[in-house]
Amino acid sequence: MNRPSAGTSLRFVVLVAGAAVMVVPFAMMVATSFKQQSYVLTPDLVPDHATFDNYVRAWTSSGFAHYFLNSAVVSLSTVLLVLLLGSMMAYAFARFEFVGKRVVFYSMIATLMIPGMMLLIPQYFVARDLGVLDTKTGLVMFYVAGQLAFTTFLLRGFFAGVPRELDEAMLIDGANRLHIYWHLMLPLARPALATAAIFTFLGSWDEFVWAVTIIDSQDNRTLPMAIQLFQGQHGTSWGLVFAASTIAVIPVIAVFVVFQRFFVSGLAAGALKG
């Protein structure tokens, strides 16, 4: 431990080199987003004649302001619903004994192992039969259903750790279960709720496959599918594509950097206790 700092310096150099590998693709993306069209095929990290034009055009004439709004509406609705429904289920699992508890709980856990894309085809037909193809409702419903198991699992662990004496004290004071859930459990579970919210937000903000499968009309596109379709149609307009990409990535990075301590705890909970 008290060895000279040669080892530490070497470690630092290796970490910096690794970090560079992680950052260069992002740097290229951002650099290209500031390039004029005649420069986008030059591999420079610092653009000549940098321009903000791509952002203005992406946001206005290419419609990414609208796609951004769609993504925001869909992701935030998903987060709110997942937190509400997931915490209700978690509360039931943490505080009640009832017939079918184990079956329901373990079937939810089991679906965590099933890759989402396996269900794409039948889910498409369920969406068709419910009449929610090509709607934002169709996106939110299936995002919520898909994220519910993880959130319930995460929150159940947290609720189970809340001392039962607190519930009992409130029951004696005449509170009912709904009151306890809303005024005791949810406020206490704020860190766990934050963790669940972040995972759910990132999951739905970045989601692509379901969106590209059920959404047809331009009006309902979310950012990832809009970016992919835009690139498909304007193959070499990399400046615009990456301006739109940067716009899409900024909220993700902001959420991640600001809330990263919740992130680590959530991942650790999933890995070490799961």
Partner 1 sequence: MSVDTERARTGPPVGTDENRRARPRPRSGAGARGSRLTPYLFLLPGLVLFVGLVLWPIVQAARMSLVDWKFTPGVPSPFVGLEHYDRAVHDPVFWKSLVNTGVYMVATVPTQLALGLALALLLNKAIMGKVAFRVLYYLPVVTSWVVVSLVFEYLFSTNSGLVNHVLHDGLGIGQEPVNWLGERWPAMAVLSMLGIWKGAGWAMLIFLAALQTVPRDLLDAASVDGAGKVRTFFSITLPQLRPVVAFVTVMLVIGGFNVFISVYVMTGGGPGDDTQVVLTYMYKQAFEFLDFSYGSAIAYLLAIIIFGLSFAQMKLFKYDEEAS
Binding residues among 20-59 for partner 1 as defined by CB under 8 A: 21-26, 28-29, 32, 41-43
Q: Binding of partner 1 at residue 200 (CB under 8 A)? A: no
Q: Binding of partner 1 at residue 234 (CB under 8 A)? A: no
Cβ pair 197, 79 in contact under 8 A: yes
Q: How far is the CB of 145 from partner 1 (least distance, A)?
A: 4
Residue type, 24: V
**Token match 């992680």: residue?**
22
Residue 147 to residue 39: CA distance in whole angstroms? 42
Q: In terms of CB distance, is 57 or 177 closer to partner 1?
A: 177
Site for partner 1, residues 82 to 101, rule: CB under 8 A: 85-86, 88-89, 91-92, 94-98, 101
Name the token pair of 263: 């992130």
Residue 245 to residue 241: CA distance in whole angstroms? 6
Return the sign of the alpha-carbon dihedral for residues 130, 131, 133, 138.
Answer: negative
Site for partner 1, residues 241 to 260, rule: CB under 8 A: 241-242, 245, 248-249, 252-253, 256-257, 260
Instruction: Mark out the alpha helices in the chain (DSSP H runs).
Output: 6-33, 53-59, 64-95, 101-111, 120-129, 136-160, 164-172, 177-180, 186-188, 190-206, 209-214, 223-233, 238-258, 260-273
Q: How far is the CB of 186 from partner 1 (least distance, A)?
A: 12
Name the token pair of 254: 């902001």
Q: How far is the CB of 256 from partner 1 (least distance, A)?
A: 5
Figure out which of the listed residues 113, 187, 217, 233 binds partner 1, where binding follows CB under 8 A. 113
Residue type, 101: K
Q: In terms of CB distance, is 52 or 164 closer to partner 1?
A: 164
Site for partner 1, residues 203 to 232, rule: CB under 8 A: 205-206, 208-209, 213, 223-225, 227-228, 231
Q: In terms of CB distance, is 61 or 174 closer to partner 1?
A: 174
Q: Which is nearest to 224 in space by CA: 123, 122, 143, 152? A: 143
Q: Binding of partner 1 at residue 174 (CB under 8 A)? A: yes
Q: Binding of partner 1 at residue 142 (CB under 8 A)? A: yes
Q: Binding of partner 1 at residue 109 (CB under 8 A)? A: no
Q: How far is the CB of 90 from partner 1 (least distance, A)?
A: 9
Largest Cα–Cα separation, the chain: 74
Q: Binding of partner 1 at residue 149 (CB under 8 A)? A: yes
Q: How far is the CB of 219 from partner 1 (least distance, A)?
A: 19
Q: In terms of CB distance, is 50 or 267 closer to partner 1?
A: 267
Q: Binding of partner 1 at residue 129 (CB under 8 A)? A: yes
Figure out which of the listed residues 72, 80, 109, 126 binds partner 1, where binding follows CB under 8 A. 126
189-193 contact pairs (CB < 8 A, 24+): 189/87, 189/155, 189/158, 189/159, 189/162, 191/158, 191/262, 191/265, 192/154, 192/155, 192/157, 192/158, 193/83, 193/87, 193/155
Q: How far is the CB of 122 from partner 1 (least distance, A)?
A: 4
Figure out which of the listed residues 114, 131, 166, 234 binds partner 1, where binding follows CB under 8 A. 114
